[in-house]
A and B are shown apart, each in its own frame.
Chain A
């Protein structure tokens, strides 16, 4: 399938991208050149794109951040931290498209960054919400007191899904579905925002966020959630489940 031309016969943006990235075959390039020779509008778009390409790019900050921070937190140290008061909320229904985010209050403290892990059928993104922006958090990142965390989930097919958390005081709480248990969701081609969020308190330690997706309904026990090992091995819920774990270090800015 060629991505050179749009339905109206003019160049697709992807066609221009292919040209600028020098990815086109000789035949495609000839076709494109022929069109450009007769279409001033498309030639102007190509010229504009070339000018933009010539501008300097900002440094790839997220890459630097990620490669540095992908090291897991020192769980041994943090595991038995202090106590956390967890208030949580949760809520609503899926999909950011419509819903106002309900926030929750949890405990914790530190400073976050990056994002998550991903499995074959399930991907989870944890991000810090700030006014008008969101910042993805990676497993092993820090988190700050009062941080509000939001979540995006993608499921490759309809699965039973649960998102739970455990604070540094080993209190386990449900994030999605808010009432606990699991809920049928998916498929989602792109990650969708859950209408639930949590807010971290200032208690130091590791906040563990675990997403599980299974073929059949399931109920996570506190013991299963708390059995997450120091190495980050998530509990075996049942056969055929995908799971993603994100640990946030509330003591590490």
Chain B
């Protein structure tokens, strides 16, 4: 990590990765580029935590995910998203994990999820991460991750979804 945050360098090197992640949430290219700008504004704002990050790509991944979810959480946008995309927040999930049921589940319940659980749900159900990976990414204990995801699984049972 550089001793100071060189935002231009960071953008050049990691901007495409960030944009790739964003496109999983926002399919419209123009909107995705707007969000890219916003994410890097947030990056500048959060430079302290950036300096402590093990790997820039990992840190940027979580910052981007949170930002996209926050943006989607806007009621209007959320409605549009659900209308437009129907079944999918179809970003590049791991090859065979995170297919429709999990995404559908999140889509169905995400109004009710608090931001932390929604983020964990995306990492778990869509990205296919383990509890340990989620714990490291979100800065909480594995136990907390497990407990929170158990809540999601309970909710899934209620609606007949398929949390794994």
Interface residues of A (CB under 8 A from B): 1, 3, 6-8, 10-14, 16-18, 20-21, 23, 39, 41-42, 45, 48-49, 52-53, 55, 57-58, 60-63, 66, 95-101, 114-116, 118, 123, 132-134, 136, 152, 188-193
Contact = CB atoms under 8 A, between A and B. Distances in A.
Nearest to A101: B75
Contacts of B76: 132
A7 B131 CA distance: 9
A190 B115 contact: yes
Chain B contact residues: helix, strand, loop or mixed: helix
B87 interface: no
29 contacts: A1-B133, A3-B133, A6-B127, A7-B97, A8-B95, A8-B97, A10-B95, A13-B21, A13-B93, A13-B127, A14-B127, A20-B16, A21-B13, A21-B55, A23-B56, A52-B20, A53-B17, A60-B37, A96-B74, A97-B75, A97-B111, A97-B115, A98-B111, A100-B75, A116-B45, A136-B41, A188-B115, A190-B116, A190-B119
Contact of B70 (A17, A23, A41, A190): A190
Contacts of A10: 94-97, 128
Given A3-B133, A23-B56, A191-B70, A42 B95 contact: yes
B162 to A, nearest CB: 14
Contacts of B21: 13, 17
Contacts of B23: 52
Contacts, number: 164
Nearest to A1: B136
A97 B16 contact: no
Given A10-B94, A11-B95, A96-B75, A192 B20 contact: no
A142 B57 CA distance: 33
Nearest to B135: A1
Contacts of B93: 13
A61 B35 CA distance: 12
Given A20-B17, A45-B95, A55-B16, A136 B38 contact: yes
Q: Which of A6, A10, A53 has the most CB of B within 10 A?
A: A6
B92 interface: yes
B95 A192 contact: no
Contacts of A96: 70, 73-75
A115 B45 contact: yes
Contacts of A53: 16-17, 20
A184 to B, nearest CB: 16
A6 B94 contact: yes
Q: Lowest 10 CB-CB distances: which A-B pairs, in order?
A: A6-B128, A6-B94, A41-B95, A10-B95, A62-B37, A8-B97, A17-B57, A53-B16, A62-B41, A1-B136
A114 B75 contact: no
Contacts of B130: 6-7
B94 A13 contact: yes
Given A3-B137, A6-B94, A58-B36, 8 more contacts: A8-B95, A10-B97, A14-B57, A42-B95, A53-B17, A96-B70, A97-B115, A190-B119
Contacts of B37: 58, 60-62
Given A96-B75, A99-B75, A39 B115 contact: no
B113 to A, nearest CB: 8
B105 interface: no
A97 B73 contact: yes
Given A10-B128, A60-B7, A118-B45, A21 B70 contact: no
Contacts of B100: none
B116 A21 contact: no
